[in-house]
Amino acid sequence: MKRVEAYIRIHKLEDVKLALEDAGIRGMTVEQVKGYGRQQGQTDKYRGSTYALNLIPKLRVDVVVEDEELERVLEIILETSHTGEIGDGKIFVSDVIDAIRIRTKERGSAALR
Ligand SMILES: Nc1ncnc2c1ncn2[C@@H]1O[C@H](COP(=O)(O)OP(=O)(O)OP(=O)(O)O)[C@@H](O)[C@H]1O
Ligand SMILES: [Mg+2]
């Protein structure tokens, strides 16, 4: 299993979410975060404003998927969150060693299905 951690523009969430749902990907966590990339937030604007300490509001979207789903999920996020402008965001991928559905105690792949 892989964890896809995508930092995206706030207004892109709906597109990303709908596309992932359409692809049968069930489950995600979304959190509002503030951050900066290599421009240190200086040329990345959010609603026309420059932010204190150059921290720009973004969303972190977390999705844990099967290995076989990874490339499809990455494609979807890349496609739907892209504008071509500075500050489009970044995606990090990491290994997940287990998943457990608390209600049923199912583990691994079964906990994702
Ligand atoms: N190395 C990093 N570690 C953790 N979070 C990061 C990192 N780089 C970017 N982020 C997060 O991603 C958000 C968007 O980054 P951003 O798109 O500006 O990346 P970038 O590398 O500067 O690319 P671009 O040149 O397209 O702006 C940041 O606001 C921050 O929350
Ligand atoms: Mg940047």
pLDDT in tens, 50-84: 655 678 899 999 999 999 999 999 999 999 999 99
Q: For ligand 1, what atom is nearest to the CA of residue 43? A: 27
Q: For ligand 1, what atom is nearest to the CA of residue 56? A: 29
For residues 22 and 80, the answer to whether their CB atoms sit within 8 Å is: no
Identify the helix (H) or strand (E) that includes residue 31. strand 29-35
Q: Find the length of the chain.
A: 113
Would the CB of 59 count as within 6 Å of ligand 1?
no
Mutate to test the pocket of ligand 1, among 3, 4, 5, 7 (most ligand atoms within 8 A of CB): 7
Boundaries of every domain in the chain: 2-112
Angle at 111 between CA 93 and CA 109, to 5 degrees: 60
Say whether pTM exceeds 0.85.
yes
Which of the following CATH numbers is that of domain 2-112: 3.30.70.120, 3.30.530.20, 3.30.70.270, 3.40.50.1980?
Answer: 3.30.70.120
Instruction: List own/partner pairs for 107-110 with CB under 8 A and 24 or more apart.
Output: 108/1, 109/1, 109/66
